[in-house]
């Protein structure tokens, strides 16, 4: 299947924040993906930096550890010529008793236009959006949502498969504790995919069916139906008790091996949001094999985060296409 080309249609975007995919429409999600396609093209050029956010300040407020998301947002902002600043909770005044909201207000007083927030408490970015004037981007809030991860997964599927509508996507693993799963569920369903959640009953409760998904507990039974399998990490740090007998048993029942890939469709697409635990959720042969798009997800993540920052900046001209405006900004730098 040929990768989907960037859209030439104008993108209408009026939101001030990106807090989750649950509240976005199909048109809004498609608009972000179309814009990201354009930025992927820009990133392949020798001159990768555009002046779109010149003079803007983007703060990364991460209250949990992160490698890909934090680095990706930082690089995305810099590619758009914004000034960036990282915030570390461990060395901040939070340790002296300052509240989360007061910390954000002080950062806003320093000139923050955008705050990228990751927090262990579900709803923390939504709370912040009610108390500051800056734009808030949710970079993961507890087990609630991780919207840009959901978007980059959708982008990867769309570029690899040419579409999302009509595909069957299996999300495998620790669904109960996964913000990635929830953002994927909302995005996939809104774009017309069939979603099957698969894992142990303790990690994939039947109540998840209320979101519009199917629930299964036997990976080998659903694999032949799947066009895409998104393999989630076991989040032991979020589990309050042992929810399955052992890592070895989990890997035997739900790990993506080369043998399982062979049982699936010839063009089965394997995704995995990092970090991955090789030998647990998937074997090295699968992670590095021809069905894997794990590194494509990382590349697409940069384009998605550039697109989100770009659209939140409010610079979109409704009379011009995304690609035309981006390339116009590039020409201005020559």
Burial label, 280 (beta-carbon count in 10 A; 0-12, 13-18, 19+): middle
Task: Please state, in angstroms and rounded to a whole number, the distance separating the CA atoms of residues 71 and 332.
Answer: 27
- Residue 308, pLDDT > 90, answer yes
> Quick check: 116 and 139 in contact, CB under 8 A?
yes
Domain chopping of the chain, boundaries: 26-145+300-332, 147-296
**Mean pLDDT for all residues in the chain:** 87
What pLDDT band is residue 237 in, cutting at 50, 70 and 90?
very low
Q: What is the pTM of this model?
A: 0.89
- Residue 124, pLDDT > 90, answer yes
Return the percentage of the chain with pLDDT > 90, whole number: 68
**Mean pLDDT in residue range 168-192:** 96
Q: What is the pLDDT of residue 42?
A: 79
Q: What is the pLDDT of residue 315?
A: 45
What is the torsional sign of CA 262, 163, 209, 69?
A: positive
> Quick check: 282 and 259 in contact, CB under 8 A?
no
Strand partners, 172: 198, 231
Q: What are all long-range contacts of 99-104, with beta carbons under 8 Å and residues at least 24 apart?
A: 100/124, 100/127, 100/128, 101/127, 101/128, 101/131, 101/132, 103/61, 104/61, 104/128, 104/131, 104/132, 104/134
Total residues found in the chain within this entry: 334
pLDDT tens digits along 11-68: 667 899 999 999 999 999 999 999 999 999 877 787 888 899 999 999 999 988 888 8
What pLDDT band is residue 324 in, cutting at 50, 70 and 90?
low
**Mean pLDDT in residue range 192-205:** 94
Q: What is the pLDDT of residue 89?
A: 66
Q: What is the pLDDT of residue 60?
A: 94
Task: Please state, in angstroms and rounded to a whole number, the distance separating the CA atoms of residues 172 and 315.
Answer: 39
Task: Please state, in angstroms and rounded to a whole number, the distance separating the CA atoms of residues 308 and 58.
Answer: 12
pLDDT tens digits along 65-118: 888 899 999 999 999 999 999 987 655 556 556 788 999 999 999 999 999 999
Q: What is the pLDDT of residue 333?
A: 57
Tokens of 187: 């995005």
Instruction: Provide the CATH topology of domain 26-145+300-332.
Output: Rossmann fold (3.40.50)
Its CATH architecture, for the domain 147-296, is 3-Layer(aba) Sandwich (3.40)
Burial label, 237 (beta-carbon count in 10 A; 0-12, 13-18, 19+): exposed
Q: What is the pLDDT of residue 314?
A: 73
Tokens of 219: 């990976």
- Shared fold status for 26-145+300-332 and 147-296: yes
Q: What is the pLDDT of residue 97?
A: 67
Q: What is the pLDDT of residue 307?
A: 96
């Amino acid at each position: 299947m040929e990768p989907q080309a960037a859209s030439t249609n104008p993108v209408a975007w009026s939101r001030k924040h990106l807090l989750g995919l649950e509240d976005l429409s199909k048109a809004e999600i498609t608009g972000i993906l179309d814009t990201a396609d354009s930025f992927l093209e820009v990133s392949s050029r020798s001159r990768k930096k555009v002046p779109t956010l010149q003079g803007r300040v983007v703060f990364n407020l991460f209250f949990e550890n992160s490698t890909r998301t934090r680095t990706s947002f930082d690089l995305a902002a810099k590619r758009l010529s914004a000034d960036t600043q990282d915030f570390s909770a461990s060395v901040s005044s939070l340790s002296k008793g300052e509240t989360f909201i007061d910390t954000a207000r002080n950062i806003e007083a320093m000139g923050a236009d955008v705050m990228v927030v990751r927090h262990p408490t579900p709803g923390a970015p939504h709370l912040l959006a009610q108390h500051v004037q800056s734009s808030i981007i949710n970079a993961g809030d507890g087990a609630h949502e991780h919207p840009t991860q959901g978007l980059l997964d959708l982008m990867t599927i769309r570029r690899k498969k040419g579409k999302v509508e009509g595909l069957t996507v299996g999300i495998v693993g620790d669904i109960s504790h996964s913000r990635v799963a929830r953002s994927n569920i909302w995005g996939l369903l809104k774009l017309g995919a069939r979603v099957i959640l698969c894992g142990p009953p303790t990690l994939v409760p039947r109540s998840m069916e209320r979101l519009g998904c199917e629930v299964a507990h036997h990976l080998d039974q659903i694999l032949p139906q799947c066009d895409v399998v998104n393999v989630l990490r076991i989040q032991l740090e979020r589990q309050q008790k042992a929810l399955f007998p052992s890592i070895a048993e989990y890997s035997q029942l739900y790990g993506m091996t080369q043998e399982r890939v062979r049982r699936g469709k010839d063009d089965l697409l394997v995704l995995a949001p990092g970090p991955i635990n090789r030998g647990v959720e998937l074997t090295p042969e699968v992670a590095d094999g021809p069905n894997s798009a794990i590194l494509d997800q990382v590349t697409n993540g940069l384009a998605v985060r550039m697109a989100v920052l770009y659209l939140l900046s409010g610079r979109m001209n409704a009379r011009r296409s995304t690609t035309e405006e981006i390339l116009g900004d590039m020409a201005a730098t020559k």
